[in-house]
Structures are given as C-alpha cells and as structure tokens.
Amino acid sequence: MKKLLLLVFLFPFSASAQEYVDLFRMGYGQTLNNNFKDTDSDTNVEFFDVGFTFPLVLNANHALIIGADFSFNKVQLFPESEFSNLYSTNLKVGMASTWSEKWSTTIVLLPKLSSDYHDISSDDFFLGAFALLKLKKNENLIYRFGFYGSQEAFGLFTTPILGWYYLSPNKRFEMDMSLPITADVSYKLGATTVGIDYFGIGRSYNVQYENDKTLYADLSSLEFASYLQFNALQESVLLRAKVGYSTNKYEMYNDGEKIDLGLSAFSFGDNRIQLNPTLSGGVFLKLEAIYRFHIK
C-alpha cells in the first residue's frame, strides 16, 4: 500500500527517461590543506549537507514540491584564526507541471537563512528561485533549459541552466547535466556504479567577527570528483565514496560592499576590497548516502 501511495504521489514525474526521484541525500567530507596565498598558513574545510525533496500530487498533471536543505562548513577564514562555523538552511516550495507528452516545467522558490547563526536577524534571510523547462526528445533523452537567481550578501547572483538527461537503452550509462551548476556521468556495473561528477556553488554567509564587526564570506567553489557507488536494497539506497578537487574560495568582505550583478562566473561592478588572503583549492574526500525511489 505504501509503495502504491508513493507511485501516485510521483506519477507526474514518470513521463520521462529519468525513472526515479532522490527523496533524501546526506553527505560528509573534508577538503585538505587549503593554503592562504603568500602565507605559510593553511586550513582544512569540514562540510556536511543533508536534504530532502517530496513531491505531492495535486492532480494528474501538477505536483507540489516541498523540501529543505541544510549545509554546514567549518573553516578558518583568516590565517591562524579560530575556525568559523557557517550554516545555510533553505526551504523548497514549488510546482512541477506536465503540459504535454513532450513539455514539462518545474518552478521552485528557495528562501534561506545563511550566516554563522550568531544573532540571527532579517539580514541573514535571502530569497532564491529557479525555473526549468524540460523537453522530452525520446524515451532516453530529455533536454533542460532554465534559470537560477538568488539574493546574496554581495548582491544579486544569476545563471542560465542548460542541460540534458540521458539513459542508455541498456540502463547502464547515465548522464545527468544541469550546467553550469551540476554534472554527473556514470556507468553501472551490477551492484556497483563508477562515475564522475561536478558541482558549482556560489553562496554567501553573514559573519560576526572580532569586535562584533559584521563581515560576510563570499563562497565560490567548483568541485570535481570521481566516485564509487554501492547500490543496495534494489538500488534504493546508494552509498558513495568520492575523491576530487575543490577550489573552495572563501573571500571576506565588509558588510554593505556589493557588486552590481553576478552572472554565472562573471561579476559586474565589483569594486570590493577583499580582507583575507585568497584561499587555494585542495583535494577533498566525501561520503554520501542517497535514498532513491524508483517510479517503474
């Protein structure tokens, strides 16, 4: 009965090559020996993230999407400083709609709190959103076109989204691309899967620092990794071990210093003065667990 109920909830998502929904995801990892430029200091970055997504059917063609994501980063923001704890919690509220056999859309609002969670105020609240238009080319291929935007401590950040989802006829080779934000290419070998992935993130955190001076951290990170995945419980529980490289740039600025516009990897009107030495990237290790519901 429970399985049938979930099938009803997820029905609007089944008309595509992607025959599953990841309802829950959790990960923990560390980036090692990130050096501060022109200094003898370095820092490790510890990170943890967890999130869930649940689609609730309204009718045969529309489903409400609800969920939440939480992330935690522990890092030294200045050479030889104490470690800072940076948190981000965002809600997901949106709508997934199927308009025809080929066309569907997803629109999601992403309100969030992002800071060190000291003296939380309205200044720590930011609003983001994304919209996707999906074209089902055939039983194995879907194209994606979309847009993401978010308020941040440094100003408005936006990026277009272009991608596709492809599943080979033998269901072993899979490509899940939403560039420039995420990319995942994998090949299934029975109970195990090998793959490579990429994740690009731009995020800011308000930080209370020495003498109660308010600063913010501008995080820009590109993560490239390879992974080995164990597929358990009829491929419903996925356990991943990842190793890769992350750029991990935590740039510190005074509160109120903003750019005119962030567009993907470009910043317009950026006259800010960076307060800390540039942090280099480093090798990272990560463990992930995913609960995946298969529609068919």
Residue 262: CB atoms within 10 A of its CB come to 24
For residues 56 and 112, which has the higher predicted lDDT (pLDDT)? 112
pLDDT in tens, 109-142: 999 999 999 888 899 999 999 999 999 999 899 9
Q: Provide the token pair at 174.
A: 């899979």
DSSP-derived secondary structure letter, 97: E
In percent, the amount of the chain with pLDDT more than 90 equals 69
Nearest C-alpha neighbor of 94 from the set 137, 132, 124:
132
How many Å apart are CA 206 and CA 3, to the nearest integer?
A: 43
Span 50-78, average pLDDT: 93
Judge whether residue 6 has pLDDT over 70. no
- Name the pLDDT band for 265 (thresholds 50, 70, 90): low
Domain ranges of the chain: 2-294
Span 237-258, average pLDDT: 94
pLDDT, residue 9, reads 38
pLDDT, residue 98, reads 92
